[in-house]
Amino acid sequence: MKVTTDASLFGAWVAERVRSRESIGRHRLADGDAGAGSQFSKTKTVLDIGTGTGLLSLMIAQKNELAIDALEIDQDSFEQATENIAASSWSGSIKIFHADARKFIFPSQYDIIISNPPFYEKELKGDDIKKNIAHHDEGLLLPELLSIIRENLEPGGTFYLLLPYKRNEEIKKLLTESELAIRQMVFVRQSTKHDFFRIMLEGKLYTQKNAEILIDEISIMDISPAGTQNQYNPAFVSLLKNYYLHL
């Protein structure tokens, strides 16, 4: 499977968000906050739904001490992910399962759930069956994914999704129907001259005290006003510098 730039950006963003939240918890523990200590003292558990080549799990494990369960339904992708994880320095932190998330018996609820789910539900499909499953919701529909998240996310837990920007309004409605809430949305552009094309979303279980949604944006590339010079956006570089060799 091809590793896309937006998926890499998503993995780096999630890894940093998780690291930042863990750091806040450790500071609270050091300051004597017993409530925070009980929340952050145990190793966090992560569920990666539709891991593909294992990219997201590996990127998150690189920056965080976590116990990750990664699910993949496609046999070839599962084998590739298994090989990638086994060859990494984080093989002891990641368990990979060849499984359908709709039928999988989860061992417990998770502190963190991540997914780069199918993008193109109800749109024109090609002849490649594997691509149809990966990109056209032939396997897991978005409402089904949200139901799995709601049922398997720990109270106080966090989930992360990468979605097409054109589903911006739809996802808000689906999340409300699934009793899930948005904490933060980051709109992603290919460049400063392009429209948004992806959403990186952080969410939680719905409560009566949901805070205001944080909205941010990021461009992968900066383009000079004359259009003659392209370079990676500084925010993109900051997130990806530990993963890309030539940033």
- Between CA 111 and CA 94 the distance in angstroms is 15
Q: What is the mean pLDDT of residues 177-185?
A: 96
Mean per-residue pLDDT for 178-202? 96
The position carrying tokens 């997201």 is 56
What count of other Cβ atoms lies within 10 Å of the Cβ of residue 195? 9
> Residue 171, SS3?
helix
Backbone angles phi, psi at 169, to 5 degrees: -70, -40
Task: Compute the average pLDDT of residues 225-235.
Answer: 80
Residue 150's H or E segment, with its range, is helix 142-152
Residue 33, pLDDT > 90, answer no
- Domain boundaries, given as residue ranges, for the chain: 5-240
Residue 137 clears pLDDT 80, i.e. is over it: no
**DSSP SS3 for 129:** helix
Residues comprising the chain, all counted: 247
Residue 213 and residue 232: Cα distance in Å, rounded?
Answer: 27
pLDDT reported for residue 126: 47
> What pLDDT sits at residue 228?
62
Eight-state DSSP code of residue 93: T
Instruction: Note the pLDDT tens digit of each residue in 46-83.
Output: 999 999 999 999 999 999 999 999 999 999 999 999 99
Section 227-233 average pLDDT:
78
Structure confidence at residue 1 (pLDDT) = 57
pLDDT at residue 34 greater than cutoff 60 = no
Provide the pLDDT for residue 43: 76
Higher pLDDT, 153 or 122: 153
Cα 88 to Cα 104: distance, rounded to the nearest angstrom? 25
End-to-end distance of the chain based on CA atoms, in angstroms? 23
User: Does residue 32 carry a pLDDT above 80?
Assistant: no
Q: Which CATH superfamily is domain 5-240 in?
A: Vaccinia Virus protein VP39 (3.40.50.150)
